[in-house]
Structure 1
Amino acid sequence: MFRLLRTSIVYRSAFIVLGIALLVGSFFALFSYQFSAQSEQEQANQRMKGSLSTVESTASIACFLLDQNLASELARGLLKNGDISRVLIFSDDKILAEASRQPAQNQANASLTILPDIKTPNQLEQEIFSPFNAKEKVCNIRLDPNMDFIREQSSSKARFIVYLLLVQALVMASAVVYVVLTMITRPIKNISDRLHTLSPESGDKLSLPDGNEKDEIGQLVRDVNMLIANLLKTLNEERSLRIRHSIGEKKFQTIFENAETGIFQLNFSAELLSYNPAFLRMFNLTDAHQRGNLSHVLTLMLEGQELRLHLMIDAAINESKVMSDDFYIQLGSSSQKKWINLVISPAEDGILQGLANDITERKLKEENANQLAVTDHLTGVNNRLGFEKEIARLSTEHANAHAQGFFLLMIDLDKFKQVNDTHGHTIGDQVLCHFAHIVTSTVRKSDFVARLGGDEFIILLQNLTQQSKAEEIAQKIIHQTSQDIVITDGVSVQIGASIGISYTGPHAFDPNDLLRRADTAMYDVKRSGRNAYRVVSLDGIDTTRHII
């Protein structure tokens, strides 16, 4: 029974409707019972009053004449009313007549008995006046109600009403249950049974129940059929997508295995999860590597650059964007150097997708182009742009206290204009190349040489703090420059070099001020005889040396 109530809406709805009907019917039956009993008692009281009014004139005569026989006959007549259990007629506390449904004690001496206090809340007592004088009281009549009779009468009527209400409630509940079962529950159950055997993938649909085409059940069936149609459409679309996905997956697998671009997956710790053959070829990983654990190979290849890789990964995960950067790697024992461009993008569940492209050729072209941009095409040393970049780099290093002092040599060739005027610009260009060779062969490999334009050159003696070493280099350059330069058989020229030298320590400096001091020192040399150098030191002492 309980299983049916849990699993069947039919039994459950019937049980609930009947239970509510019985509960409501019982409440109203109890209320009707109380009301009927009270009403019956009130009617009994009215009947007693009516009986008393009927015999009032006879009682008046009996009491006026003190006729006990007439009074007794009157009392017995009142007892014929079933609502009365006892009648008492008395005058001046003397009982004229008494009658009850039970034998009264001491009835023989009733006339002499003092009237006891037998009043009850339901007793009815009335004064009787003389038939000749309406103001002269001659006796009293007291009626006691027959409570057993009254209760029996009220109970029987109340029970009849209760039974009637309960039968009515059951009939109404049964009607409601029947309507619910036939018009709601049974159609829903039929729909449910049909759904159990329905095959949506074959396009089956529910049929509309007869009589429910336009009501809520009909709407329910139409909604279910619409859901079935949408489901069938979704299934077909999913089947089509699955087929296309399978085809696309095969294509991507082919691309993955045969692409020249390295494709890989990694987690947030930069550990490799998967990779394609191009990735292995790009990093020169052999079969032996493939059989081993390659999870940390990427960080090993980028040794010294791991921080940049982890910053890319953090940015890709936290900012959900594609990150790209170039890395310089050195492969294996062959000391092969490569430039690799890594592109990392977030996928899902903390996994990242990556692409690796070999950009070595592009980087070499960029380096060559950059080198051409900062190289003097005639002499092969750096040009003005190269010098500006270098002096800016040194300024930044010194500002961050990451460098040592250095000397700046500003050089201007003496008599070079005469060479151009006498022998032409072709010979002049050969002289410039000769001087550039003298400078580059004299300074250290770590030093910087640039031609600013015309016959002006500049040298940066980096990480040098000894003035004597700077002067020694200047002397060598002046000495070698002053030697005759043989151009062709029978043609030789002679030039000189005026050098201005300024120094800055490891602290921050102003490049313009450094150049201005060296330039001023160089022009001072020219005005004082040329073919010499002058040093502007940190302590403000200027030293000029002429080379003979």
Structure 2
Amino acid sequence: MPRLLLLLHTRLALRTTAIILLIVTLLGVVFLALAVYLRAESVQREQQSRIQELLTTVERTAQIGCFLGDRHLAQEVTDGLLSNNIVRAARIEAADGTTLASGRTNPGDPDAATVTRDVFSPFEPGTSVCEITVEPDQDYIDELVAQASNFIGGALLLQLVGIGLCVILVVVRFVTRPITGLSHRLSELEAETGQQLQAPKGNRDDEIGQLVISVNAMIDNLVQSLSEERRLRLEREVEERRYRAIFDNVEAGIFELDGGGFIRSANPAFRRLFGMPGGTNLERHPVAFASLVSDGDGEAQSFVIGDDQGGHDRQWEVALEDGDRKRWVSLILSPLETGRLQGVAHDITERKEAADAAERMAMTDPLTGLGNRRGFDHRLAVMARHHRLYPERCHALITLDFDHFKRINDTYGHQVGDRALNHVGAILADLVRQRDYVARLGGDEFVVLLEGCSERDEIESILTRFLERLRTPLQADDGVEVTVGVSIGIALLGVDADDPQQTVQFSDMAMYAAKRAGRNTWRFYGDASVANAD
């Protein structure tokens, strides 16, 4: 084993062959497993489809037998099903639960999956007269799956073996052997004497020949390069001392990343900002920058750079966990050299918090804490973009308006009116999902956006629970009970209209239709009464 490992380490041809064999083996296993799995799934689906076809074939006969209660005819249907290899057991039960016919070809698993189909009356299509239950013969199906899988697996295995052997022969003959010979000659070359390489026969005009030309050109320039390298080294030492003075004393965090996203150096300000121990030797024990960052606009893989990435600056804002408080840091990364980035970090927590607070205030209703009209317009624009990308997904827009809200303000005062608004807003926010949106557009008008919701039953279930909770009177001061009524209109983006603004108009029209219908109820824009009013 040690001898084999040494040969693998020192022989390119052997190592290349081993790697190709390993890759071919791994690919063979993966593709073999995938092919077998796909074929098995295909056979399973074919047999399930066949069972459905059998049920369809006997369904008409079963209708007559079940409708007449003819056990003999039902037994013939059962026997016909059992004559197929894929059926192990079959049973026909009448609508009252009695068994009209049953049969089994061999004992089976009592927990085996079954296929059931309701049989409806030939004269009353909506009335079920019996139920056919079929238990597939899983052993027979598994045998079919095994036969198909073995054939596919064998063919694919032979193909992969042939491809692997051909690739190995080509690589050894045209790549590794010439490179091995060139390596031996290069190890004996005395570059300082001006000695040069000779390209192998047959490789003078290809990439290996170009490699030989490049090596010879490198030898010609070697002496000149050595003197230039010494001069550049002195200049670099001066620049490094100058950079180190700035690096250690500047207030901003300065750091360097390698191609894998690991920190290779960091100044004291950066260590303080990210809570890193001051004595950490980052050159010997680099730290992954992604491990220092929690959430933010920059993702972990964004700090990994490749040779094909352009030399342009990139900027992120990342979040750091600092106890119960989240601190935000602005990062600017600039290319330093190939596979190396230089970064500058600034603490922007106060600026970020101020901007977020201003944005929340701009999009939040100060009375209810829900969204306001600006927030609603923003969310509606997001929903519009989502609908353009996924037109098959529909969204519900619900408009709510208080019934006789002015009477509440005039009778009990604006304080009670505000409490009623908060009461309704709290109920709405509690009933909808987290991804949905509730806003107060102004006065006593509310709106709800239900994302990805087009089922009428689901919408009506939410509104039913909403109105039920509204029936509980609101307890005002001095024991006064206030009952709130709401008229509701619903329009569906993607069903009633594809334009969000038109959907808003349709929802508003449906709300007025609810008011005309007696208030404290809802109407869909698609209802006939709303369409006629339009």
With the shorter chain as reference, the TM-score category is 0.3 to 0.5
Q: Which structure has the bigger radius of gyration? A: 1
Structure-1-length-normalised TM-score: 0.46
